[in-house]
A and B are shown apart, each in its own frame.
Chain A
Amino acid sequence: MNTLKNALETDKFIITAEAGPPKGTDVQEMLHSTSLLKEKVDAVNVTDNQSSVMRLGSLGASKLILEHGLDPIYQLTCRDRNRLAIQSDLLSAHVLGIRNVLALTGDHTQAGDHKQAKPVFDIESVQLLQVISTLNRGMDMNGNLLKGKTEFTMGATVTPEADPIEPQILKFEKKVKAGAQFFQTQAVYDTKKMEEFMETARHFPVKIIGGILLLKSAKMARFLNKFVPGIRVPDELINELEKSEKPLETGIQIAARQINEFRSICDGVHVMAIGMEDKVPLILEKAGI
């Protein structure tokens, strides 16, 4: 089985993809699209109630993906659990064989389908990374000894095109200090912007996995520009999609092209296809992977 840990330890160009757990108990589709990725990716991110929409949990889904022969990256947000639940879930993840965690603050409950929920945010991403580091050293966050420590590889996220960018970079540095070993970025469509970010990131001993988000149409691109923080699809790409007779195919080509551009810039790519996970193998194939 390919693992993220192996990929991080070598100079290999890292490939990760994403699996969105279903809203419900039918996991067939999720497992089908992830199984297409076997041996093609190093690990698969399993989202945690993404966009604050209640779904099958990332812990359970990560375990299933592991059983199906892929290395899961267990995404863990601070929105729904306090520090007891978070640490306890991390111990559960460890005993289930999950070895990668992506520490996230999480979207606000206002974004999702349970707006009436009490958001928790007892701790946040930087503190969560510290907590995981501590569990890896065999202690809980209050310094109590654990009977058996964890061995997590820790990741975090960063938005290279955030506006303003400086506070985001300062937080990136804090995440590194707190123990992040790899970063997956928000989708970046402008290679120059990625290069600029990498000039800063290169000073830190972490791997940067560039975010690639499949564009399905010009409409989607405009939607991203308008509503998704930190994403900027350049006009040229929107035009390209607009002119295309088969926008999805064009989107796949754009994604493949981007993967190739990122090859010489960052340490890997994280391919997100939101609902079209079955297209990821084709994107990778077109990129020659």
Chain B
Amino acid sequence: MIVTKQKPIEEIVKSLEGENNIFLVGCSVCADECQTGGETATKELIEKLKTSGKNVTGFAVINAPCHVLLTKKDLKVHKEAIDKSDAILITACGACAQSVSEIIEKPVRPASNTLFLGNIERHGHFHEHCSMCGECVISFTDGICPITNCAKGLLNGPCGGMNKGKCEISTEERPVDCAWVLIYERLKKFNHLEKFKNIQPAKNYSKHIKPDRLILERKK
């Protein structure tokens, strides 16, 4: 899921300078899990906005605003409140924000920073493990992504910065395992160290050019 973190309220208010009537759009899926854009978080933000002197015209917490078609439908019922607004504040990820800007002819302001595609390790703990690179390579590591878990995205083994199994960007406050030590241990466990020995070619970054798109053929 997409991990987001709310911007500081001062920054949000500053982004709404000169815009008094605000409509909020949240997300009851990813952003709710991150406590940035579900019903509770959106209502909390509304209170803060009111304290800062903003007039909130209304809000909608949608089941995944990244779904443009459904969002369009869901926002229809709020037409009046939206029309009265100077800007739309999005308490979801950047992709959702842009669904909304595609649908509504109003300036869109993000209330969150969109961080990464995260796994939920346990409630409130999110870890990044995939960078959506367009050509998955984790079969040669038996299941650990070096593109994402290694700070440098190396494909052929640990760099000289590895220290006692930790990555060179590791700090006491923020310990990070060296992905290549984890990969080595995993391959060894499965008796697959031969895979480590193969030189992996340079990554083909043309597999994922931004903005990417995918259009499925209709099944007959």
Interface residues of chain A, those whose CB is within 8 Å of chain B, are 79, 83, 105, 107-108, 110-111, 119, 121-127, 130, 141, 157, 159, 162-164, 166-168, 170-171, 173-174, 177-178, 186, 229-230
CA gap between A163 and B180 in the complex, in Å: 12
Question: Known interface pairs A108-B168, A166-B184, A167-B180. Does A229 touch B197 (Cβ–Cβ under 8 Å)?
Answer: no
* Residue B165 interfacial (CB < 8 Å): yes
Q: How far is the CB of A137 from chain B (nearest CB, A)?
A: 16
List, in ascending order, chain B residues with CB within 8 A of A170's CB: 157, 184, 193, 196-197
List, in ascending order, chain A residues with CB within 8 A of B133's CB: none
* Residue B199 interfacial (CB < 8 Å): yes
Interface centre among B161, B169, B180 (most CB of A within 10 A): B161
Q: Mark B19-62, 1 if CB is under 8 A from A, else 0.
A: 00000000000000000000000000000000000000000000
Question: Known interface pairs A164-B184, A229-B168. Does A127 touch B152 (Cβ–Cβ under 8 Å)?
Answer: no
Contact of B155 among A124, A162, A186 (CB under 8 A): A124
Interface residues of chain B, those whose CB is within 8 Å of chain A, are 151-165, 168-169, 180-181, 184, 188, 193, 196-197, 199-203, 205
* A229 adjacent to B160 (CB under 8 Å): yes
Known: A105-B154, A105-B159, A108-B151. 12 other contacts (CB 8 A): A105-B160, A107-B168, A108-B161, A110-B168, A111-B168, A124-B159, A163-B163, A164-B181, A171-B158, A173-B197, A186-B160, A229-B160
Q: How far is the CB of B202 from chain A (nearest CB, A)?
A: 5
* A162 adjacent to B152 (CB under 8 Å): no
CA gap between A159 and B152 in the complex, in Å: 18
List, in ascending order, chain A residues with CB within 8 A of B202's CB: 83, 122-123, 127, 141
* A126 adjacent to B160 (CB under 8 Å): no
CA gap between A242 and B152 in the complex, in Å: 38
List, in ascending order, chain A residues with CB within 8 A of B152's CB: 79, 105, 108, 119, 121, 124
Q: How far is the CB of A235 from chain B (nearest CB, A)?
A: 18
CA gap between A110 and B159 in the complex, in Å: 15
* A178 adjacent to B199 (CB under 8 Å): yes
Question: Known interface pairs A141-B202, A229-B160, A229-B168. Does A127 touch B155 (Cβ–Cβ under 8 Å)?
Answer: yes
Interchain residue pairs with CB less than 8 A apart (25):
A105-B152, A105-B160, A107-B161, A108-B152, A111-B161, A121-B152, A125-B159, A126-B157, A127-B199, A127-B200, A127-B201, A159-B160, A163-B164, A164-B181, A167-B157, A167-B180, A168-B157, A170-B157, A171-B157, A174-B157, A174-B199, A178-B199, A229-B160, A230-B162, A230-B163
